[in-house]
Amino acid sequence: MSPVHVTAEVLASKRIGAFQHVTLVAPGVGERFRPGAFVAVSVGTGGYHLARRAFWIHQVRPLGGYAATVTLVVQPRGEGTRWLAGRQRGDRVEVTGPLGGRPFALPKEPVPVLLVGEGYGAAPLFALAERLRERDCPVNLVLGAPDEAHLLSALEARRTARAVTIVTGDGSVGARGSVADVLPEALRRSGAAVVYAAGPATTLHAAALAAEEHGAWSQVALEQRTTCGTGLCLGCPVPVVGEDGVARTARACTDGPVVRGDRVRWDDLARGASA
Ligand SMILES: Cc1cc2nc3c(=O)[nH]c(=O)nc-3n(C[C@H](O)[C@H](O)[C@H](O)COP(=O)(O)OP(=O)(O)OC[C@H]3O[C@@H](n4cnc5c(N)ncnc54)[C@H](O)[C@@H]3O)c2cc1C
Ligand code: FES
């Protein structure tokens, strides 16, 4: 998956709940995309430039006469995300992608799978669900958020998956609680052989633990800060255990962003430790 750097054009920008869905014409990016890949966007124009910001590729679709437009889900909160969310149709944005040495690995057999996502972090799971369905894998989905506004595409989730469990912190939609609360039951009901998770590290950790207890594999999409995104700066360390049982440091951008959940040293990750 060799990335390209392009000047993309904003084709559409739509507010849905707490998120801004930004669709870009970014020639070459969508064509190379695999679920779990991300892009780096240079935020800021004119007199000021900030570090590039990473965004999951949510959807790749033919739209407006273009073969493979790329949609990002932006939760405006800091300088960079507010800048991108404020772009209008016709604006130009510098984009590098698709990035990520290891996107989600698809099972060889049509096994049942459980996809677990939280907030905007669930963005990479929707394209993954489509690919899994093409392989005849029964797709089950757990979607979580603090409240309804931060719940990503619940309607689309119901169209994509065989069974959907929704959980919100304030109980405004679905069950009240956290993703971790509903995981054991969702795993039992789905009989999943593989759990795919995307979202905050606490959710990824919970998904990896629940999968292990259930005897399933897990694949987690890490959201470590990335600076270069290409494996050069060593600025995105992930503490892991290698297949030989020896502690190592992986790079989220090129050895990930998707890694096996049972390989991550979660306590060290939470402490920001590597090595
Ligand atoms: C693989 C990946 C996928 C992501 N997908 C999404 C997504 O789909 N939607 C979404 O809303 N967010 C996503 N994020 C998170 C998003 O990139 C960061 O939260 C965002 O960079 C925050 O930017 P901000 O400017 O709004 O915040 P700010 O609060 O302005 O930035 C916080 C501070 O962190 C620094 N910083 C921010 N980003 C980086 C970086 N990439 N490298 C180094 N320093 C940085 C800034 O310089 C600033 O000092 C993703 C992150 C990663 C790593
Ligand atoms: S961000 Fe530079 S090595 Fe990963």
Q: In CATH, what number is assigned to the domain containing residue 191?
A: 3.40.50.80
Please indicate whether residue 79, judged by its CB atom, sits closer than 6 Å to ligand 1: yes
Q: In terms of domains, do 123 and 87 share one?
A: no
- Residue 210 and residue 165 in contact, taking contact as beta carbons nearer than 8 Å: no
Q: In terms of domains, do 118 and 211 share one?
A: yes
Instruction: Dump the DSSP string for 200-267.
Output: SHHHHHHHHHHHHHHT-EEEEE-----SSSSSSS--SEEEEE-TTS-EEEEETTTT-BEEEGGGB-HH
Q: In terms of domains, do 91 and 165 share one?
A: no
Answering whether pTM is above 0.85, one says yes
Buried b (16+ CB within 10 A) or exposed e, 24-39: bbbbbbbeebbbbbbb
Q: How far apart are CA 200 and CA 239, in angstroms?
A: 16
Q: In terms of domains, do 123 and 233 share one?
A: yes
Q: In terms of domains, do 141 and 270 share one?
A: yes
Beta-carbon neighbour count of residue 45 at 10 Å?
A: 13
pLDDT, tens only, 165-187: 999 999 999 999 999 999 999 99
Query: Would 134 be classed as within a structural domain?
Result: yes
Which residue among 71, 220, 225, 228 has the greatest number of ligand 1 atoms within 8 angstroms of its CB, and so is best to mutate?
Answer: 225
Tell me if residue 172 falls in helix, strand or coil. Answer: coil
Query: Would 126 be classed as within a structural domain?
Result: yes
Which residues are part of a known binding site for FAD? 73-75, 80-81
Output the pLDDT for position 47. Answer: 54
Residue type (1 letter), 30: G
Domains: count for the chain: 2
Q: In terms of domains, do 146 and 233 share one?
A: yes
Ligand 2 centroid from CA 224, angstroms: 9
Q: In terms of domains, do 77 and 136 share one?
A: no
Ligand 2 centroid from CA 96, angstroms: 14
Ligand 1 centroid from CA 78, angstroms: 8
Q: What are residue 219's DSSP bridge partners?
A: 196, 260
User: What are the pocket residues of ligand 2 if the criterion is a CB atom closer than 6 Å to any ligand atom?
Assistant: 226-229, 231-236, 251-253
Ligand nearest the Cα atom of residue 98: 1
Ligand 1 centroid from CA 94, angstroms: 16
Domain ranges, residue 38: 4-99
Residue 94 has pLDDT above 90, yes or no: yes
Tell me if residue 122 falls in helix, strand or coil. Answer: helix
Q: In CATH, what number is assigned to the domain containing residue 41?
A: 2.40.30.10
Using a pLDDT cut of 90, give the percent of the chain over it: 83
